[in-house]
Amino acid sequence: MSTKKIQGLVKMYGSSLELEEDTILRALEISKRAEEKNLLSGTKLEGSAAALIYISGIIEDDRRTQKQIAKVASIPESTIRNRYMNIVRELDIRR
């Protein structure tokens, strides 16, 4: 998986959703950790980027709904939920 591609999607989605810069930076930081643990391999880039945006929005208190993010990413909300649960569990992320 290309780190640059997923980071590009995170930035694009973050911009479309008018997220704060700190939220986007947090999503990029989480993506690096997830890639180090091979959590993003074999997944669609759009779903992973959307989940990273959702997670970082919760952490940074700059939330967007799964529905809002799914619309921007053109994916089902269930994809965000599934990727979210996996990433949060495997990286032991607390709100």
Task: Tell me which residue of 49, 22, 21 sits closest to 35, measured CA to CA.
Answer: 49
Domain of 53, in residue numbers? 3-91
8 A C-beta contact, residue 37 and residue 91: yes
For the segment 43-79, what is each residue's pLDDT rounded down to a tens digit? 899 999 999 999 999 999 999 999 999 999 999 999 9
SS3 of residue 33 by DSSP: helix
Give the length of the chain.
95
Specify whether the CB–CB gap between 35 and 3 falls below 8 A. Answer: yes
- What is the rounded CA–CA span in Å between residue 74 and residue 80? 11
The CATH number assigned to the domain holding 68 equals 1.10.472.10
Q: How many domains in the chain?
A: 1
Structure confidence by residue, pLDDT tens digits, 3-39: 789 999 999 999 999 999 999 999 999 999 999 999 9
